[in-house]
Structure formats: structure tokens, C-alpha cells
Amino acid sequence: MSEIFGIPIQAFMGQLMLGLVNGSFYAMLSLGLAVIFGMLNIINFTHGALYMVGAFGAWLGLTYLELGYWQALLLSPICVGIFGIVIERSMLQWLYKLDHLYGLLLTFGLALVLEGLFTNIFGVSGQPYSIPDELSGAFNLGFMFLPKYRAWVIVASLVVCFVTWFVIEKTQLGAYLRAATENPKLTQAFGINVPLMVMLTYGFGAALAGFAGVLAAPAIQVSPLMGSNLIIVVFAVVVIGGMGSILGSILTGIGLGVIEGLTKVFYAEASSTVVFIIMAIVLMIRPAGLFGKEK
């Protein structure tokens, strides 16, 4: 059997594939963070909690309303988005003019409140959520046994990432949005409702987190801590990609997922640190991140 660095090529390909799956989650979550930071200048620490709420939305829908996976995939992000809008209108909007630190503190506090609330109600071991029947089973790729559900995660996340990038970078709406961040007063003078745009952006970022949550629900246990286990890595992804850079966060997310996956084969003990080592190196060489612009 042929080998790469002493690892059978099949195992290598398998790990590459799994890295891609994890990378898809990182990409989707860091995309939401990047959008919110880019447009609102808020470091949204609530993101992990919103991802958790999205997953719980799916579980609650199934348990109490008998909503299936597909309905949850649509409804849960919408609910999380609306919840995000409520947060933005009631709290965040007062902080835009202040230092980043205030937004960070508020959103971090909110994340703790949400996690505490869910832990209290549901316990930390979490709730099981089954894979929908249409997506159970697996593809035999020759080099590995890829569960259909994981393949679906890659596809869904790539589509969502692409659409988001397209809307923000290539459409009229996206142009307004970017203008509103660049110079809110001038944009408003042109008759564009900037506060509305900002509100919708936060809602959209939150919905993205909720969507990732629903995608994750069948793959990992739906538990109140699922967000905080992930959020630090996702922040590292955003920093490496360049704060606020959309394309940067997508590419870095996928790339780091793959690198982390490969680390798990070569030296599993380092798999939780490798992302931060990369972050340190990138910040030394390019302080604004790989795709960020120096201000």
C-alpha cells in the first residue's frame, strides 16, 4: 500500500475528507462572525451560544412540535435570526459608537446567560437528535466510508457560504451594505435606511449560526456547551482569515479544518493547539490576517 509520511494513503484521504467536514462548520460560523464584525464592528461572542440555540431549536421542534429535520433547517435559523434582531435592537445598537470591548463584554455575558439557562433546563449531557432517514447510511468512497450526512454538511455549507459571499460582494444590496459600513452618514444621506440594514445584518449573522447549529445537531450531541467548545477555534479562524474578510473566513475555515484533521493523524495530542500555533505565526507575519486589509 502506498503511503504519505508513513500514513496509508487511504487513511490520509479519509482524514482529509473529515477535515473538510469540520472546516465547513468553521467556515459557516466564522462567516457569520466576519459579516457581523465587518458590518457592525461588533465582536460577537454570542455566536457560539446562537449556534447552540439553533441546534436546540431543531431538537425542541422535533420533540414538542414534531417538526422534521428539513422544517427545522428552515425554521430554526429564522427564529435564531429574529432572536438576534431582538438582541441588536434592545442592547447592541447602543454600543456601536463605543470601544469594541463593550460589545465583546455584552455578547460574552449574553453567551454565558444563554448557556446557563439551557444547562439549567436541559442538563449538560445534552439531547440526542437522529439523522434524518433520507441522509442516513453512507457512501463507500473506496478509501473511506463517508456517512451521507457528513457529505450533505459539506454541500450545504459551501452553498450557504457562496450565496453569502455573492450577495455581499456582487449585488446591489451588498453594495449598500458595504457603503453603510464604510460611511454610514453619507449612505443615510442617499436615502438608505442604515439602522435597518445593520439590524438585518446582525439577524442574518445570527441566522447563519443557527443554521450551522441545525446542521450540527444530528452529528454531535445537542448540548448547551457545544458552542463554547467551538467558538474559540472559530475566533482563531476569523483572526487568521482577517477580521471582517468574508472570503478570508470561508477559505481559512475550510483550510484550518483540513490542517486540524491531519494533525489528528500525525500527532493527535496537538490537534487542539495547532490552530492557535498557526494563528500566532500568521499574526507575526501578517498582523491583519491572511486576507485582511491594514487600516
Which positions touch another protein (CB under 8 A)? 8, 10-11, 14-15, 18-19, 21-22, 115-116, 119, 123-128, 130-131, 138, 144-145, 147, 149-150, 219-221, 223, 225-226, 229-230, 261, 264-265, 268-269, 271-272
**Least distance in angstroms from the C-beta of 123 to another protein:** 5
**Least distance in angstroms from the C-beta of 158 to another protein:** 18
Query: Which grid coordinates are listed for 198?
Result: 445593520
Kindly report the number of other CB atoms within 10 A of residue 193's CB atom.
13
**Least distance in angstroms from the C-beta of 112 to another protein:** 10
The residues near 267 (Cβ < 8 Å, ≥ 6 apart) are none
**Least distance in angstroms from the C-beta of 272 to another protein:** 4
Of 176 and 276, the one with the shorter C-beta distance to another protein is 276
Nearest 5°: the CA angle 270, 156, 237 is 35
| DSSP secondary structure code for residue 77 in this structure | H
Of 13 and 179, the one with the shorter C-beta distance to another protein is 13
3-state SS class at 294: coil
Of 207 and 216, the one with the shorter C-beta distance to another protein is 216
**Least distance in angstroms from the C-beta of 105 to another protein:** 20
3-state SS class at 245: coil
Longest Cα–Cα distance in the chain: 67
The half-sphere exposure of 214 on its side-chain side, counting CA atoms within 13 A, is 29
Of 198 and 262, the one with the shorter C-beta distance to another protein is 262
